[in-house]
Amino acid sequence: MLKKARADFILERLTELYPETPTPLQHSDNFTLLVAVLLSAQCTDERVNKVTPALFAAADNPYDMQQLPLDTIYKIVRPCGLAPQKSKAISGLSKILVAQHNGEVPEDIDLLETLPGVGHKTASVVMSQGFGHPAFPVDTHIHRLAQRWGLTKGKNVTQTERDLKKLFKREYWNSLHLQIIFYGREFCSARGCDGRVCDICTTCYPNRKNPFVAKKP
């Protein structure tokens, strides 16, 4: 099966399985989404969703968040891991949003990436899930699956994002990156499938004999 045929099959299959793509992280606006995505780095969405209610009860906007003592933020977000960096980033970006953006999350990926703790993937999630602009956030999870399914040979998430954007039309980007995540968690996890188990893997590579080993980013 050629790459284009694999891409077409994957898109069709994922759309059948996941016609709706709700944002996994609980939030009420773009600020709470930004904070939740920042907290999700090297942490499960499930754990983030357990932590953010307490954090947003204390401060759900940058004006209130900048007033919270750093130690208070740290104690709340500690279960998410990397708490020293994440708490400083949340406090710092809140101050910048108030001082430079009238308390609003900027609708500009370049400006988002200048905020503390906000990398390209986090900014892309906010642009796609928050503002609705076409973006294809690629984390290590999507990177691994894209390699496993023969959609990219990229050695890093940057190259993988570039390859996926070439393969799929812009209109599918926002939903597709979530569909890939949903499918990976349910059917094609690192432990649950080695490239020879799930429906997508066996359809794309029916003759694969050995476990597939993805190149780490």
How confident is the prediction for the chain on average, in pLDDT? Answer: 96
> At 93, which CATH number?
1.10.340.30
* 8 pLDDT higher than 80: yes
Is residue 100 domain-shared with residue 142, that is, in the same domain? no
Is residue 47 domain-shared with residue 120, that is, in the same domain? yes
Is residue 74 domain-shared with residue 111, that is, in the same domain? yes
In the chain, how many domains are there?
Answer: 2
User: Does residue 72 belong to any structural domain of this protein?
Assistant: yes
Per-residue DSSP letter, 150 = T
- Tokens (6 digits) for 149: 């399914």
Q: What is the Cα–Cα distance from 149 to 6, expressed in whole angstroms?
A: 8
pLDDT tens string 144-194: 999 999 999 988 999 999 999 999 999 999 999 999 999 999 999 988 999
Is residue 35 domain-shared with residue 125, that is, in the same domain? yes
Per-residue confidence (pLDDT) for residue 209, from 0 to 100: 94
Q: Which domain holds residue 174?
A: 3-20+136-204
User: Does residue 148 belong to any structural domain of this protein?
Assistant: yes
Q: What is the Cα–Cα distance from 5 to 53, expressed in whole angstroms?
A: 43
Is residue 174 domain-shared with residue 143, that is, in the same domain? yes
Is residue 60 domain-shared with residue 148, that is, in the same domain? no
Per-residue confidence (pLDDT) for residue 217, from 0 to 100: 65
Distances (CA, A) of 201 to 162, 204, 205: 22, 5, 6
User: Does residue 58 belong to any structural domain of this protein?
Assistant: yes
Element containing residue 204 per DSSP (H, E): helix 199-204
The catalytic residues are 121, 139
Q: What is the Cα–Cα distance from 214 to 217, expressed in whole angstroms?
A: 9
Is residue 158 domain-shared with residue 111, that is, in the same domain? no
User: Does residue 214 belong to any structural domain of this protein?
Assistant: no
Per-residue confidence (pLDDT) for residue 213, from 0 to 100: 86
- Tokens (6 digits) for 126: 């906010």
Is residue 16 domain-shared with residue 53, that is, in the same domain? no
Q: What is the Cα–Cα distance from 43 to 29, expressed in whole angstroms?
A: 21
User: Does residue 51 belong to any structural domain of this protein?
Assistant: yes
Q: What is the Cα–Cα distance from 130 to 139, expressed in whole angstroms?
A: 18
Is residue 126 domain-shared with residue 34, that is, in the same domain? yes
Per-residue confidence (pLDDT) for residue 129, from 0 to 100: 97
User: Does residue 162 belong to any structural domain of this protein?
Assistant: yes
Q: Which residue has the tokens 């597939």?
A: 212
Per-residue DSSP letter, 115 = S
Per-residue confidence (pLDDT) for residue 127, from 0 to 100: 98
* 116 pLDDT higher than 70: yes
User: Does residue 53 belong to any structural domain of this protein?
Assistant: yes
Is residue 124 domain-shared with residue 45, that is, in the same domain? yes
Per-residue confidence (pLDDT) for residue 216, from 0 to 100: 72
The residue with greater pLDDT, 56 or 214, is: 56
Q: What is the Cα–Cα distance from 204 to 214, expressed in whole angstroms?
A: 16
User: Does residue 215 belong to any structural domain of this protein?
Assistant: no
* 114 pLDDT higher than 90: yes
> At 141, which CATH number?
1.10.1670.10
pLDDT more than 70, % of the chain:
100
User: At which of 82, 108, 130 does a domain end?
Assistant: 130
First to last CA, the chain: 26
